[in-house]
Structure 1
């Protein structure tokens, strides 16, 4: 595995994996899961995509990794116990999306990645960030991919105990994070690989299939036998050996991004 480089980009912690020659190359940016692996360093270990001639920069999600409060996940637990949608899921996606442009500019200043189109990848809640970047920003993207993604936020909210008490505000927020409805905008931006574990939560797997159907020829589905929702064992904060299902995901992502790499002509 290439030696990781750690740092911050406009306040966002990152773990960067360089290409084999450590030189100038295209950039792929990722956002990790909130399940294991739940930090940028752990996500880099689970999905290193070492076969790619690119820089792979794994950004930390809010309150994760180096941004954990007191080095623990207790503060996140408190947020989703308070209100899983309005205190946890939606704010995390919003913050990660809003801090991305400045983080990208900082990465371009720190690493030899040029100013061309990038690749984007997100897992679980990080998948919602990648999808929002595709659907709602102007950042040039050559290809995207999501893994067990939060495609429809209502489905994620349903995974929490109890019946969620939607009101007008939370209904609007949930609708804004339904990326099946945003499929035309996503399809206009870049080709998208949708990776779905065959043992993922049934609703999340159904949403993945619906997204692929809505995207049409601009999308491909990669089903991974034996993959549940996480990509790593608990606690999922520190880098860990790659599990066999994650290895299959990693191979699929590597092939996908390699196929869509920008021409160097």
Structure 2
């Protein structure tokens, strides 16, 4: 496992088991819940047995780029759409092309197929990268995915006891990040969503099921796997440093590898 910084973005890179430069590349963004750094996510979701380059970028405002826990909490309380979720999503997508160019050049990664993976906010980034045509993804795995921002903000509002007032600007961000409403823009990319049975129905389970249904209606390969007993997170708190894989993370890892191996023709 190699950890460094490229184009200003901290990342972890795992090489393919075969050492092939032209092996597929899987880009995997972490959650803002545990595991909340690229290092912790690489430990929770190592994608063992997948003959692919596995790139784990750090999200903006997270890990080494975090302004501190208190400041992140302040942003989440004062303006969760414009200053936190919308900002992280837009900045992560915008910095991806330069990151990919730098990592490919440094490590000699060839032009094999690309897949995207993400957890929660990272799943929103993975979907946005496909919708925005930043990557031509051969497959996507979205874990505990943030597919629609409005119900997630509703959860945050209840959690922090705040009354969030939507504005035209924040409505525009929510529309941009609505991967259910924008499902047509995912094109032919096969998608597997993985959600815990104990996660929020309104914010995560229902949107994931709706996305699957819309993609299948268009003839796109898509499914939904529900992990029994799992909540939203994939690691124990604090979720900053690499930690032993949990039972649920091991199941998610296996489901992700299974889908990517099939879609990348590595099985």
Query: Which residue is 1:192 aligned to?
Result: 191
Deviations 1:226-264 (A, max 9, x none): 11000000000000000001100000000111111158x
Rounded to whole Å, the distance in 2 between the matches of 1:177 and 1:21 is 37
TM-score where L is the length of structure 2: 0.92
Conservation of the 8 A alpha-carbon contact between 1:6 and 1:16: yes
Give the match for residue 74 of structure 1.
Answer: 70
Deviates more, 1:210-219 or 1:227-236: 210-219
> 1:243 corresponds to which residue?
246
Aligned-residue offset at 1:196: 1.0
In structure 2, the residue corresponding to 1:181 is in which secondary structure? coil
1:128 is matched with which residue: 124, 127, 139? 124
Kept after mapping to 2: 8 A contact 1:40/1:60: yes
Deviation of 1:163 after TM superposition, in Å, equals 3.0
2:42 corresponding residue in structure 1: 44
**Residue 201 to residue 156, structure 1, CA distance change in 2 (3 Å):** same
Alignment of 1:1-265 (within 5 A): 4-24=1-21, 25-69=23-67, 72-161=68-157, 162-186=162-186, 188-203=187-202, 204-216=204-216, 217-261=220-264
Q: Which moved more, 1:233-242 or 1:14-23?
A: 14-23
Q: Which range is displaced more, 153-162 or 15-24? A: 15-24
CA 1:106–1:189 in 2, change beyond 3 Å: closer, same or farther?
A: farther
Output the aligned Cα RMSD: 1.4
Q: Structure 2: state its 5+ residue gaps.
A: none
Bigger CA drift: 56-65 or 19-28? 19-28
